[in-house]
Amino acid sequence: NRMPEAQAQQAAKAVAGAVRIGANECWTGPFPSGVAAATKLAQEGNRYEPDDEHAKLFAAVASVEGIPADRILAWPGSSDPLSRVAVAYASPTRGIVTANPTYEAIWRTGDWIGAPVRKVPLTSDYRHDVKAMLAADPNAGVYYICSPNNPTGTVTPIADIEWLANNKPKDAILVVDEAYIHWVDGPHAAKLAATRDDVMILRTFSKLFGMAGMRLGLTFASPTLMEKMIRYDGGQVTAMLPMTAVACGTASVTEAALIKQRRAEMNAAREKSVSHLKAKGIKVIPGSQANMFMIDWGKPARPMLDALLAQGVQIGRSWPIWPNVSRVSVGSMEEMEAFNAAVDKVWKA
Ligand code: PLP
């Protein structure tokens, strides 16, 4: 049954003229160096690959992340490899285990292939409950950790991630989705994929790098693990991506100072709204380290979404497990000020 999801997606569709803080997009575009690189490659679009563009991307990522280049692959976003790893390693007899609430794309892939999907509530401090996740299905094919988690923005400690990697069945895959990792000023799980053959890290350029519509994502994993996800021709041509996106990504990943600056600006914009809400006595789920946060209105969230939209501010959706809670994405400082003003107009305790 795909209808509830279709309804959920509605919240992410653009409403003309509204402040768009509903879909965890970056409020600003790609870095200038990325746009320049993409423009150059658009002009050379007659060539399949003007000059080893994929290899340049893998080398740039390898140098930034400390992952061997042969353990890096690129995809049109991270949704595609997320589905593929589930198709490759889960089945009707080897299920999928995830948190709840979390990013649900893999739930739908599980439904599609008839694999049982176990959804394990987050801990009371909003981490993935890795022990309960293993207990929920000790023989799963895929365990999925999203850190920072969409929709809570909360981080699961590396020690917990390592515990699950060490205690899951040897032939199961641990997928760690780091779509929002660029907002975290701390350790990444990526290094696990540098040495282990049963862990896959997902990255995307759709978030901090501002490339959601350009479509570029990465997997870090052993070549053998990724072979099972590769396209039908063995990855010769069907694995090629638009060179504009590849070149934009290559230019962006090494922009350490701009990454830090964007992170700091968006974290400040998030805290501006979080403190505004708290000052009004509105409950915010604590601990977000990403470009989103959640508000527990203490009453159904949907009417709040509608009321804010009537004020020209489009916030995000709710998850069925928490119907009173809305996800809000972080926009620019001006957009968060508009959000704060809209809350002032509509909020009644
Ligand atoms: N993973 C997480 C946790 C996400 O929140 C998203 C998008 O919102 C994705 C993956 C997929 O995004 P994309 O396919 O644009 O990389």
Counting ligand 1 atoms within 8 A of each CB, the residue from 9, 103, 200, 329 with the most, and so the one to mutate, is: 103
Mean pLDDT confidence for 331-335: 97
Phi, psi angles (nearest 5°) of residue 232: -65, -25
Share of the chain above pLDDT 90, in %: 89
183 and 49 in a single domain? The answer is: yes
CA 202 – ligand 1 centroid, Å: 9
pLDDT for 233: 65
Element (H, E) at 98: strand 96-100
23 and 60 in a single domain? The answer is: no
Residue finishing a domain among 223, 254, 285: 254
Residue finishing a domain among 238, 254, 270: 254
DSSP letters, 190-249, are TTHHHH-SSEEEEEESSSTT--TTT--EEEES-HHHHHTTS-TTTTSSTT---HHHHHHH
Residue finishing a domain among 225, 254, 283: 254
In the structure, which protein residues have their CB atom closer than 6 angstroms to any atom of ligand 1? 24, 77-79, 103, 146, 150, 177, 179, 204, 206, 212, 217
pLDDT tens per residue, range 8-51 = 554 456 778 899 999 999 999 999 999 999 999 999 999 988 89
Q: 140 with 173: CB under 8 angstroms?
A: no
110 and 95 in a single domain? The answer is: yes
Residue 142: strand pairing partners: 96, 173
Question: What CATH number is associated with residue 267?
Answer: 3.90.1150.10
Domain count for the chain: 2
User: What distance in Å separates the CA atoms of residue 43 and residue 48, rounded to the nearest whole number?
Assistant: 12
Running DSSP on this structure, what letter comes out for residue 322? B
Atom in ligand 1 nearest the alpha carbon of residue 204: 16
Q: 316 with 11: CB under 8 angstroms?
A: yes
Confidence class of residue 187 from pLDDT cuts 50, 70 and 90?
Answer: confident
Q: Find where tokens 């694999």 sit.
A: 115
Confidence class of residue 93 from pLDDT cuts 50, 70 and 90?
Answer: very high
User: What distance in Å separates the CA atoms of residue 96 and residue 133, rounded to the nearest whole number?
Assistant: 10
Phi-psi region for residue 210, left (φ > 0), alpha (ψ -120 to 50) or beta?
left
Confidence class of residue 220 from pLDDT cuts 50, 70 and 90?
Answer: very high
Longest dimension (CA), the chain: 60
Mean pLDDT confidence for 257-275: 97
CA 180 – ligand 1 centroid, Å: 9
Mean pLDDT confidence for 216-229: 94
pLDDT for 1: 40
Collapsed DSSP state (helix, strand, coil) of residue 319: strand
285 and 174 in a single domain? The answer is: no
Q: Is the pLDDT of residue 2 over 60?
A: no
Confidence class of residue 150 from pLDDT cuts 50, 70 and 90?
Answer: very high
Atom in ligand 1 nearest the alpha carbon of residue 217: 16
pLDDT for 4: 47
Residue among 144, 181, 199 nearest 64 (CA): 181
Strands 325-329 and 292-296, by their bridges, are antiparallel
pLDDT for 235: 64
Q: Virtual CA dihedral for 195, 148, 217, 19, nearest 10 degrees? A: -170
CA 309 – ligand 1 centroid, Å: 24
Question: What CATH number is associated with residue 200?
Answer: 3.40.640.10
pLDDT tens per residue, range 227-258 = 899 866 666 666 789 999 999 999 999 999 99
Q: Whose CA is nearest to atom 8 of ligand 1?
A: 24
203 and 324 in a single domain? The answer is: no
Q: Which residue has the higher pLDDT, 122 or 185?
A: 122
40 and 142 in a single domain? The answer is: yes
108 and 168 in a single domain? The answer is: yes
- Using alpha carbons only, give the angle 190, 192, 195 rounded to the nearest 5 degrees: 120
Q: Is the pLDDT of residue 66 over 80?
A: yes
CA 296 – ligand 1 centroid, Å: 23
Q: Which residue has the higher pLDDT, 235 or 66?
A: 66
User: What distance in Å separates the CA atoms of residue 305 and residue 297, rounded to the nearest whole number?
Assistant: 11
230 and 330 in a single domain? The answer is: no
211 and 300 in a single domain? The answer is: no
- Using alpha carbons only, give the angle 87, 91, 93 rounded to the nearest 5 degrees: 165
Q: How many CA atoms lie within 13 A of 124 on its CB side?
A: 0
Share of the chain above pLDDT 70, in %: 94
pLDDT for 15: 78
Q: Is the pLDDT of residue 5 over 70?
A: no
103 and 214 in a single domain? The answer is: yes
How far is the first Cα of the chain from the last one, in angstroms, to the nearest whole number? 36
223 and 292 in a single domain? The answer is: no
Mean pLDDT confidence for 138-150: 98
CA 64 to chain centre: 19
Domain that holds residue 305: 3-28+257-346
CA 23 – ligand 1 centroid, Å: 10
304 and 181 in a single domain? The answer is: no
